[in-house]
Chain A
Amino acid sequence: MSTLRVQFADFNIADELALVRANPCVGAVTSFVGLVRDMNEGSGVYSLTLEHYPAMTERALADIVREAESRWRILHTTVIHRVGELKPTDQIVLVLAASAHRGDAFAACEFIMDYLKTQAPFWKKEQTPSGSRWVEARDSDKAAAERW
Chain B
Amino acid sequence: MLNILYFARLREAFGLEKELLPMPPTATVEGLLTQLRSRGGVWADALGAERRWRVAVNQEMAEIHTPLKSGDEIALFPPVTGG
Contact = CB atoms under 8 A, between A and B. Distances in A.
Interface of A: 34, 50-53, 55-56, 59-60, 81, 92-93, 113, 116-125, 134-137, 141
Contacts of B59: 53, 55-56, 59-60
B8 A125 contact: yes
A52 B81 CA distance: 10
Contact of A119 (B8, B61, B75): B61
* Interface size grouping (class) on chain B: 10 to 19
Interface in B21-53: 52
Contacts of B78: 123, 134, 137
Interface of B: 5, 7-9, 52, 56, 59-61, 73, 75, 77-83
Contacts of B7: 51, 53, 121, 123
B83 A53 contact: no
Contacts of B56: 53, 56, 121
